[in-house]
Structure 1
Amino acid sequence: MHLTTPESIYHLRVGFPYLASKPYSSAWYLWLLWPVTLSFMMLTKIYRRSFVVERNQFHQLRLQTWAIPNFREQGKELNRYGEVYVKKHPQLKVKLVDGSSLAVAVLLNSIPKGTTQVLLRGNLTKVAFAVAFSLCQKGIQVTVLHEDEYEKLDISLGTKSEGKLVISKSYSSCKLWLVGDDLTEEEQRKANKGTLFIPFSQFPLKNLRKDCFYHTTPAMQTPKALENVDSCEVGLETYSI
């Protein structure tokens, strides 16, 4: 976990469970706590030490979530599946799994068996690139509608696309859409009857079509054996990755 704004400390376990159970957003009443917020910021400037914000237990595993006292967005090196740590410590026999790789696994598992073609729409995120790569490797054709999207994916995948990356001008070319942010209502209305929309974004797609099917955003169910879960998942049976 990382702190992005001074108020984000209140979304951790040391803050308020009500805030921790909802997507991050600033609230006016948090400004009343600015004296406390400034004191915390000064302490992190002086000590600059990570601290434990949550402890969980899953059967015999004891887990901890740490916060990095740095009030800024994550750098790219922290968002590349832990690439910076793998390169720095190549001798470690550890597999790093982050939220994006989990989202890819859940998304791939959501695609019905026997699927031969998907349409990729919306902003091309790292999840979209990873899904496109995995689908091509599985022999499933990945279709895009715009030249710039095709070029970005083609450069990223190269020969790894196995010839399964194609460009089409038809919205009705397939009945399974993998969709991200910025999918317009106009595009959604162009889908064939019975189309299945599977989002790879953090927020669900607006259900405009009664004659189509809408999958949930990538999520997993929290096992009952997982104890002491609170931050970000208070009162939720499932949660987005």
Structure 2
Amino acid sequence: MLFLTRNRLIVKKGVGFKQIDKEWDWDNFILLQAIVAALVLYIFPTSESSLPLWNRNGVTAAVVLHIAISEPLYYIIHKCFHGNYYLFSHYHSLHHSSDVPQPYTAGHGTFFEHLFLTVVVGVPIICSSVIGHGSLSLVYGYVLIFDFLRCLGHSNVEIIPHRIFDVIPFLKYIVYTPTYHSLHHTEMSTNYCLFMPLFDALGNTLNKKSWEMHKKNSLDAGKNGRVPDFVFLAHVVDMSSAMHAPFVNRSMASVPYYTRIYMLPLLPVSFIVMLVMWAKSKTFLISFYNLRGRLHQTWAVPRFGFQYFLPFAADGINNCIEEAILRANRLGVQVISLAALNKNEALNGGGTLFVNKHPNLKVRVVHGNTLTAAVILNEIPEDATEVFLSGATSKLGRAIALYLCRKRVQVLMLTSSVERFRNIQKEAPGDCRKYLVQVTKYQAAQNCKTWIVGKWITPREQKFAPSGSHFHQFVVPPILQFRRDCTYGDLAAMKLPQDVQGLGSCEYTMERGVVHACHAGGVVHFLEGWSHHEVGAIDVDRIDLVWEAALKHGLKPVSSTIR
């Protein structure tokens, strides 16, 4: 949970898709240990009912056997893995191939390595049982403690306070820390121990920086870490997609979101978390990545999509967004980009509320819709002479209509408001106003094959589009793909540059490395170093400028219809 651990990270890098895929089968060791346990029970028949729940002598024997056999055995074999090139390259290099240690990394290894670990785990349990001191508590307790300590060492989060070693100095030789084990992954010729640094001290393989670095990491936990250069302020969509977060299920978050049946039983838990988040009302960090050496973070407002449409919730939501902007301003963030409903026109005027209220903001507030408009407009064929536009008087609809009319493309603007239509028409150059046509019914587009959908339309309304039409869209959620004789565009999105690092989660339904156009718009705003706020109405004159800047920085459109 980055919003809790960001100041305690040891290796301050994000976990990328490559590492996640590599560690996908991290749980193989669990299956192996279960198979070995079944074989042992088959060879030496016994029953759980024959074992007592607790046996103090057995626990004592297991501790002694662990220290006397398991720890030194692991130390010697582990050192051999590193000392012999053949053993390391064939059986241990896989474990060290992960850039950032994670609890999953503890289970990431070759079959031979897991088999060796199974022996190390089994020695105290089997020997204690053979001498008549076995118990259920010993069997399950030892395995759970063993796995917990392995995951702790690979967690990349320093949670053990250094003061405990100041009070009890010898304790640092009894229990290792995440910092201690992380040093083994960066300087592999040191810190070979299983859990007890005592054996590294006896074998003269103790890294001399271990305690100094541990103290530094422990003390730094109370300080703010590296300040992000860019922040994307997202929000939760619904209770199901709320579980599509790296700290809930890393592998699930690394692929595009879709409703998973096996996660449905957890919806009551998600509902309770929603209530707690609503009461707590604090933004939290959910992911980060690096681009061009700059730190980009995604913060989330603790509000679910439906809450944005509750009239009594508007003030609370705006207060939460404002708090996030002010926090970013205090930290020294350069750009904060508002996602989806966080920049809703009816809620805060596309961000103008915050800029007007705080005129001296150093952080630049960006809604990113200029790039969203650019992506949609570049999907439209160059030979198009007429388009049908729903959601025509919205922020995006207005910009698209004004841009197209300048290109001498006739825009059928679906709106029942004569006043709004005329206000937009007045913004167009005098010789282009005739290309903006107000329509009030979908039937008006029966002969138009280019539909730009900014307002959700039903399958019945889609029937008015002629065969062979293409539906471009900037509506959330996307419209149903009802017509088989028509084609449907994707939501406006762009693929981040190839040199992005540490990105390991998908943005809602987007593919890996792809973000919504408004997110990409904020990234471009930051990379270009623009000093203005991008809030409120879209500046039509900047659409081409922003598009060219995005392409210049290596962002790529993902829609198959981009010309």
Q: TM-score, normalised by structure 2?
A: 0.35
In structure 2, list runs of 5 or more residues that go unmatched. Answer: 1-233, 309-316, 319-340, 518-563
Deviation at 1:52, TM superposition (A): 2.1
Aligned to 2:299: 66
Partner residue of 1:178?
Answer: 452
Change beyond 3 A, Cα 1:205–1:225:
farther
Q: Structure 1, residues 175-194: CA drift from partner, whole Å, max 9, x if none?
A: 32212444344544443444
| Counterpart check, 1:141 vs 2:410 | yes
Contact persistence 1:136–1:142 (CA under 8 A): yes
Shift of residue 152 of structure 1?
A: 6.0
Paired residues in the alignment total: 235
**Residues 1:221 and 1:41: Cα distance change in structure 2 (over 3 Å):** same
Look up the match of 2:481. 206
Pairwise CA distance, 1:220: 1.6
Structure with the largest fraction of strand: 1
**Is residue 29 from structure 1 mapped to residue 265 from structure 2 by the alignment?**
yes
Whole-Å Cα distance in 1 between the matches of residues 236 and 436 of structure 2? 38
Alignment partner, residue 14 of structure 1: 247
Shift of 1:154: 0.9
Give the 3 Å change call, closer, same or farther, for CA 99–230 of structure 1 in structure 2. Answer: farther
Please give the secondary structure, in 1, of the residue aligned with 2:235: coil
Task: Write the distance in 2 (CA, Å) between the matches of 1:82 and 1:50.
Answer: 17
Name the CA shift for 1:61/1:93 in 2 (closer, same or farther; >3 Å).
Answer: same
Against the structure 1 CA distance between its residues 57 and 7, is the aligned structure 2 distance closer, same or farther, given a 3 Å change threshold? same
Residue 227 of structure 1, aligned match among 479, 489, 501:
501
- Check 1:173–1:240 CA distance in 2 against 1; reply closer, same or farther (3 A cut): same
CA distance in structure 2 between the partners assigned to 1:42 and 1:175 by the alignment: 45
Structure 2 counterpart SS, 1:157: helix
Higher RCO (C-alpha under 8 Å, 6+ residues apart): 1
| Correspondences of 1:3-152 after superposition (within 5 Å) | 3=236, 10-17=243-250, 18=252, 21-22=256-257, 28-31=264-267, 33=269, 37=273, 41=276, 45=280, 49-69=282-302, 72-73=307-308, 74-75=317-318, 78-79=343-344, 80-91=349-360, 96-98=365-367, 100-121=369-390, 125-144=394-413, 148=416, 151=418
Q: Contact 2:386 / 2:412 at 8 angstroms: preserved in 1?
A: yes
RMSD: 4.1
Distance 1:66 1:144, change over 3 A: closer
Counterpart CA distance in 2 for 1:166 and 1:153 is 12
CA distance in 2, matches of 1:225, 1:190: 45
How many angstroms does 1:172 deviate by?
A: 3.9
Q: Which moved more, 1:186-195 or 1:19-28?
A: 19-28
Structure with bigger gyration radius: 2
Correspondence for 1:160 among 420, 427, 445:
427
Deviations 1:183-229 (A, max 9, x none): 3445444434443332222325515243x443333222233222222
CA contact under 8 A between 1:78 and 1:84: conserved in structure 2?
no
| Worse overlay, 226-235 or 79-88 | 226-235
Q: Could you say which structure has the higher helix fraction?
A: 2
Per-residue CA shift, 1:43-101, capped at 9, x if unaligned? Answer: 963xx543322111112221111223456435587434322233234455765433544
With over 3 angstroms needed to count, the CA separation of the structure-2 counterparts of 1:221 and 1:112, relative to structure 1, is same
Shift of 1:143: 0.7
SS at the partner of 1:226? Answer: coil
Instruction: Kindly provide the amino acid, as one letter, of the partner of residue 165 in structure 1.
Output: L
SS at structure 2 position matched to 1:177: strand
Q: Do 1:44 and 1:69's aligned partners in 2 also have CA atoms closer than 8 Å?
A: no
Instruction: State percent identity of aligned pairs.
Output: 29
Q: 1:201 to 1:36 in 2, by over 3 A?
A: closer
**Conservation of the 8 A alpha-carbon contact between 2:289 and 2:503:** yes
